[in-house]
Structure 1
Amino acid sequence: MVSRPETIPSRLFMTSSEPTKEEILERLVALEKENEELREENKRLRAKLRWYEGPHTPPSKDQSDQEESSSSDGDEDDEQPRTDGGTPGRKSGHDPEWRDAPDPDQEIEVTCDCCPDCGEAFDESAGVSPRLVEELPDPQPPEVTQYNRHHYECHSCGAETVASHPDCPDEGQFGVNVIAQAALSRYDHRLPYRKIADRFEQLHGLEFTGASAWHATERVARAGRCEYEQIRRQIQQADVVHVDETGIKRDGEQAWIWTFTTEEHTLYVARESRGSDVPAEVLGEDFAGTVVCDGWTAYPAFSSNLQRCWAHILREAEDAAEKQTEGEPIYRALKQLYVALQTRLESDLTVRERAELQRVARRELESLIERSVPDGPVATLLGKIEGGLDHWLTFIGEPAVSPTNNAAENALREPVVLRKIIGTLRNDRGMFVHETLLSLLATCRQQGRNPYDEFKRIARNNEMISRAQTVPAVASSG
Structure 2
Amino acid sequence: MTNFLQARVKFLEEQNAIFVNNNMLLIKENTLLKQTVEVLEQALAKQKENTHNQQEQLNSQQQEINRLKERLNLNSSNSSLPPSRDLYRKKKENKHQSHRKPGGQAGHQGYIYQPKPPDKIVELKPDLCSCGGSLKIKNRFTAKQRIELPPIKPYVTEYRCYHARCVQCQRKIVAPLPVEVGKDLLGPHAKAIICVLNGFCQNSKREVQAILKEIFNLSVSLGLVCDTAKRVNKQLESSYISMQQKIKNSEYLHIDETGHKNKGERGWAWVFTNQEDTLLKLTTSRGQQILSETLGSYSGKVVSDRYAVYNYFWPDKRQICWSHLTRDFERFAHSLNPSLSAEGTRLVSLSKEIFTLTKAVIKELIKENYYLRRISKVKREIGYIFKKILRIRGIPHAHRVIGRMLKSFSMMWLFVKEKGIAMTNNLAERQLRKYVIYRKKLLFTWSEWGNQYVERMLSLYL
Give the TM-score taking structure 2 as reference length. Answer: 0.69
Equivalent residue number for residue 295 of structure 1: 306
Secondary structure in structure 1 of the residue aligned to 2:257:
strand
* Residues 310 and 403 in structure 1, CA contact (< 8 A), matched pair in contact too: yes
Instruction: Supply the distance in 2 between the matched residues of 1:367 and 1:149 (Cα, whole angstroms).
Output: 86
Equivalent residue number for residue 80 of structure 2: 56
Q: Quick one: structure 1 residues 58 and 52, their matched pair in 2 at CA, closer, same or farther if it must change by over 3 Å?
A: closer
Q: Which has the higher contact order (CA 8 A, sep 6+)?
A: 1
1:430 aligns with 2:450: yes
Q: Quick one: structure 1 residues 336 and 384, their matched pair in 2 at CA, closer, same or farther if it must change by over 3 Å?
A: farther
Instruction: Supply the distance in 2 between the matched residues of 1:323 and 1:91 (Cα, whole angstroms).
Output: 46
* Residues 319 and 423 in structure 2, CA contact (< 8 A), matched pair in contact too: yes
The 10-residue stretch of structure 1 (216-225 or 342-351) with the greater mean CA deviation from structure 2: 342-351
Please list, as runs of the form range in 1=range in 2, the aligned pairs for 1:197-208 lying within 5 A after superposition. 197-208=209-220
* Percent identity between the two aligned chains: 22
TM-superposed deviation, 1:312: 1.6
Q: Quick one: structure 1 residues 114 and 440, their matched pair in 2 at CA, closer, same or farther if it must change by over 3 Å?
A: same
TM-superposed deviation, 1:322: 2.4
TM-superposed deviation, 1:146: 1.0
TM-superposed deviation, 1:164: 6.2
Which consecutive residues of structure 2, in runs of 5 or more, have no partner in the other structure?
1-68, 165-172
| Candidates 415, 421, 427, aligned match of 1:395 | 415
State which structure, 1 or 2, has the greater radius of gyration over its C-alpha atoms: 2
| Candidates 145, 148, 152, aligned match of 1:132 | 145
Equivalent residue number for residue 142 of structure 1: 155
Equivalent residue number for residue 107 of structure 1: 121
Instruction: Supply the distance in 2 between the matched residues of 1:208 and 1:221 (Cα, whole angstroms).
Output: 19
| Candidates 398, 412, 417, aligned match of 2:432 | 412
Instruction: Supply the distance in 1 between the matched residues of 2:109 and 2:256 (Cα, whole angstroms).
Output: 38
TM-superposed deviation, 1:335: 2.1
TM-superposed deviation, 1:82: 6.6
Q: Quick one: structure 1 residues 203 and 343, their matched pair in 2 at CA, closer, same or farther if it must change by over 3 Å?
A: closer
Equivalent residue number for residue 189 of structure 2: 177
Equivalent residue letter for 1:424: F
1:367 aligns with 2:384: yes
The 10-residue stretch of structure 1 (400-409 or 187-196) with the greater mean CA deviation from structure 2: 187-196
Instruction: Supply the distance in 2 between the matched residues of 1:59 and 1:394 (Cα, whole angstroms).
Output: 29
Root-mean-square deviation (Å): 4.1
TM-superposed deviation, 1:163: 6.0
The 10-residue stretch of structure 1 (381-390 or 271-280) with the greater mean CA deviation from structure 2: 381-390
Equivalent residue letter for 2:441: I
| Candidates 353, 365, 369, aligned match of 1:336 | 353
Which consecutive residues of structure 1, in runs of 5 or more, have no partner in the other structure?
1-44, 152-159, 443-478
TM-superposed deviation, 1:206: 2.8
| Candidates 94, 98, 101, aligned match of 1:80 | 98
What does the per-residue CA deviation read over 1:308-346, in whole Å, with 9 as the maximum and x for residues that have no partner? 111121123223312343221221123223423443455
1:276 aligns with 2:288: yes
TM-superposed deviation, 1:125: 6.4
Equivalent residue letter for 2:323: A
* Residues 360 and 366 in structure 2, CA contact (< 8 A), matched pair in contact too: no
Please list, as runs of the form range in 1=range in 2, the aligned pairs for 1:217-256 lying within 5 A after superposition. 217-256=229-268
TM-superposed deviation, 1:379: 4.2
Secondary structure in structure 2 of the residue aligned to 1:343:
helix
Instruction: Supply the distance in 2 between the matched residues of 1:368 and 1:244 (Cα, whole angstroms).
Output: 28
1:321 aligns with 2:328: no
Q: Quick one: structure 1 residues 189 and 216, their matched pair in 2 at CA, closer, same or farther if it must change by over 3 Å?
A: same
What does the per-residue CA deviation read over 1:269-322, in whole Å, with 9 as the maximum and x for residues that have no partner? 0101111211221111x1100111112221113443211111121123223312
Q: Quick one: structure 1 residues 303 and 92, their matched pair in 2 at CA, closer, same or farther if it must change by over 3 Å?
A: farther
Instruction: Supply the distance in 2 between the matched residues of 1:183 and 1:150 (Cα, whole angstroms).
Output: 36
Instruction: Supply the distance in 1 between the matched residues of 2:432 and 2:243 (Cα, whole angstroms).
Output: 17
Equivalent residue letter for 1:318: E
* Residues 357 and 371 in structure 2, CA contact (< 8 A), matched pair in contact too: no
What does the per-residue CA deviation read over 1:58-90, in whole Å, with 9 as the maximum and x for residues that have no partner? 79999xx99x77x94xxx5xx624765xxxx65
Instruction: Supply the distance in 1 between the matched residues of 2:265 and 2:307 (Cα, whole angstroms).
Output: 21
Equivalent residue letter for 2:311: P
Instruction: Supply the distance in 2 between the matched residues of 1:121 and 1:217 (Cα, whole angstroms).
Output: 68
Give the TM-score taking structure 1 as reference length. Answer: 0.67
Equivalent residue letter for 1:107: I
